[in-house]
Structure 1
Amino acid sequence: MSIEILTDTRPHAPDKYPTEKRPVRLSARNLQTEEIIRMHSHDWGQLTYTPRGMLQILANDSTWFVPPFRAIWIPPRIGHEVRIVEPSHLRVLYFHTEFSPFEGNDCLVLEVSPLLRELIASMEEVEAGSKREAHLAPVIMDELHAAKHLPIRLPMPRDKRLKSLCETLLTDPAASLTLEDYARQVGASSRTLTRLFEQELDMSFTAWRQQMRLAKATPLITSGLALSQVAAELGYASQSAFSAMFKKTFGESPSSFFRHK
């Protein structure tokens, strides 16, 4: 059963809001599996990060699985929901709008460097409003500007027929059914579904399924499942086929990607 943690648009208390004098603030808490921070938004941007656990973020008609030592940037006034996939040490940096590290309304998944990890940890320890807190903020900004962006986003459709198809695929990522098979299930022609994939998601059915499988790989690998089992769970013919596709997308092997650097 899911547990609602947050239902309004504020974090915990006004003293946690970022201001011009204190533009970067940290909120830290530990959450258990299946806990949910319900859909909400606020006037500042946030960097959502966990050094331990697994997060699923819903925002901008997309979903992201965010593993340890990665983080997601969520711009100001963007509605978002946080789902806890595994027990997580949730660490959220709030950024005043005048001190935003990124422009635009797109969410971004970022590599968290060793230095940025230590900076976030230091924000937990510093005295509120101290000179040290003020000195850490621009260094955090600099690390975010240099952070590598990761293609973990999985766009989700609004059309009911296409949404039904995509949710079916998410439930059974290893299924080898064709688009024609799914068309019969959702009551639309394969031509219509092909058009909807391009119009709503800007990719083909095959490309979306591949992206979905890679997104689903994240929680499976971090749970400790062997790569051979992950490949089978996701419908790949072999571990090497899965590893090759993973490396093509992320630029490194699964074992390297999920190694604590």
Structure 2
Amino acid sequence: MEKLTESRLKTLHEEHVRNLARMEQSNEDVLVHSTDVPGGYTVPPHHHRRTQFLCVFSGVVLVATDRGRWMIPPGHALLIPRGLEHSVEMYSDVSMRSVYIYSPEGRAAAREPVVLEVTDLARQLIAEALRKGAVAEDRVRGELVMALLLDEIGRLQERRLGLPFPASGRLAGLCRDFVAQPSPAAKIDDWARRLNMSRRTFTRFFRQEMGVSFVTWRQQACLFACLPRLAAGEPVTRVALDAGYESVPAFTTMFRRMLGAAPRAYLTNREAA
């Protein structure tokens, strides 16, 4: 990865500020933007007046809001509602494309972030929309490409890569510790005891605070910790054992349930796309 000096960080921040200002001043209903960002850089908290479709072509990014965290691996995108403040952390060198949509209908009207699996058609349409001079050469064709892209975004399948996260309190501390060192063997009773709650009270409290069960959240958090390492090319066996799984098959079963494919097949397909 590129070494981020203070000068380089300042340049990246200035570029982000300029791009954000340019997009916010535009009157276009749909804007498409291409970005290549070095690993280790975090886009500071900001928001848009358009809904953002943030599509990752390579690398892994983490988008954080006060509503939760979303891990975006290659071949996926996060739909970020207009007006929602968010930051974007690059877990590796990242190549991403963003579609900014100013519309009160369809997925652009979403009120909550959602991770979507990006199809080959969506990727090709984004590439065509970005092609230099495409709209200037043939505005009718450009409008058709944009219309088809918006329709395709509305058809993309959701993936459970969001991780609810409490804003503060003792539960937030437990969640942060777990994300730093996840284990599929973590038990409800242990967490309940650390918060001085009964198992029943903790189970109810956790679901109220997070919107999902403890077991579901634990699985998602474990997957979060594994994705950047897998995308970086680390062996599946090492990642699985480090994550606390007793065997690769057990890890593969969890991964397939969450992402629809085994780790090797999934990452090969995503990076080749």
| Alignment TM-score, normalising by the size of structure 2 | 0.83
1:230 maps to which residue? 239
Using the alignment, how far apart are the partners of 1:140 and 1:113 within structure 2?
11
Does 2:71 correspond to 1:61?
no
Does 2:159 correspond to 1:150?
yes
Residue aligned with 2:82, SS: coil
| 2:184–2:218 contact (8 Å) kept in structure 1 | no
Does 2:214 correspond to 1:214?
no
Does 2:109 correspond to 1:103?
yes
**1:1-261 maps to which residues of 2 (within 5 A)?**
3=9, 5-6=12-13, 11-14=19-22, 17=25, 19=27, 22-98=28-104, 101-127=107-133, 130=136, 131=139, 132-174=141-183, 176-182=185-191, 188-191=196-199, 193-260=202-269, 261=273
| 2:101–2:108 contact (8 Å) kept in structure 1 | no
Using the alignment, how far apart are the partners of 1:118 and 1:9 within structure 2?
28
Q: How big is each residue's C-alpha offset from its partner over 1:214-249, in whole Å with a ceiling of 9 and x where there is no partner?
A: 222221211111111121121111100011122223
1:63 offset after TM fit, Å? Answer: 0.9
Specify whether residues 15 and 73 from structure 1 end up closer, same or farther in structure 2 by C-alpha distance, changes over 3 A only.
closer
Specify whether residues 220 and 23 from structure 1 end up closer, same or farther in structure 2 by C-alpha distance, changes over 3 A only.
same
Count of residue pairs the alignment pairs up: 258
Provide the identity percentage. 27
For structure 2, the residue ranges without an aligned partner over 5 or more in a row are none
Structure with the higher helix share, 1 or 2: 2
| 1:58–1:80 contact (8 Å) kept in structure 2 | yes
For structure 1, the residue ranges without an aligned partner over 5 or more in a row are none
1:250 offset after TM fit, Å? Answer: 2.8
Q: Kindly provide the amino acid, as one letter, of the partner of residue 64 in structure 1.
A: W
Q: CA RMSD in A?
A: 2.7
Residue aligned with 1:189, SS: coil
Using the alignment, how far apart are the partners of 2:18 and 2:49 within structure 1?
9
Residue aligned with 1:146, SS: coil
